[in-house]
Amino acid sequence: MRENDEAIFKSQLILFADQSGLGQWQAAEATWRLLDPMKRGWSRAAYGQGDAEYSFARFQFWQGSLQEEHITAVATLAEHDNNRTTLRNLHWLHGVWRLEQHDWSRAAASFQEAVRMARERRFVDEASETGLALVKFHLGQLDDPPREAERLAQLRQPAHRYLAMLWLAIGDHDQAKHHALAAYRWAWADGEPYVHRYELTKTTELLQQMRVPIPTLPPYDPAQDEPFPWEVDVRAAIEKLRAEKRS
């Protein structure tokens, strides 16, 4: 029974994260109401404390209703569990939240901590690195901004929207346009309605600010989906369980 409860919890958490990312706010809210009362005492290998609360804080940010108490709740749980991944993600989230408010100093402090934690594990947090460069530029603390922007563009997964904002602040409209369009294509993902909703909204606003036409991209086409090898068996198992439940 414990294994079933754990699987249900993790499935609900994944569903909540997916609904949030797609901007399905009402559906995500309904899922959270089912998820939130569930226990969190799973094995460390299965679940890191604070992960669900982080997903909820990010959900609040994407809707424009994030509060400091959401950040504190995640930090308390993740620190107690030494959940470094969620703590690093939380510093990134706090950084982008403060960036959106033009609170450059607090955004810089959060991004710096996210970058430090990533480098301790010898990998690059592209979004935090680029966010840090952007806020440093606004603080007048970024040495050779064009060179830093070019370096960030060469990273494995460039943070294109923040690069566009950095180039726009530097005054290079062509580079800003290039990265803004790349950000839009990334945010479009599989096409409406399966898009990265928050990033698509923010990138659309950025393109409009720059007076760059919004690209026309194809919507999601289910005919292009290739079924997973196990999909038929899973569907059959679901129907079998439903039939047993009805009988």
pLDDT in tens, 32-88: 999 999 988 888 888 999 999 999 999 999 999 999 999 999 999 999 999 999 999
With bands split at pLDDT 50, 70 and 90, how would you rate the model's confidence at 2? low
Closest CA to 149 of 161, 137, 163: 163
pTM for the predicted model, two decimal places: 0.91
| Per-residue pLDDT at 218 exceeds 50 | yes
At 62, the amino acid letter reads W
194 in helix, strand or coil? strand
pLDDT per residue over 164-217, tens digit each? Answer: 999 999 999 999 999 999 999 999 999 999 999 999 999 999 999 999 999 999
Which alpha helices (DSSP H) does the chain contain, by range?
2-21, 25-35, 51-63, 68-80, 84-100, 104-120, 126-138, 145-153, 160-170, 173-188, 197-210, 231-246
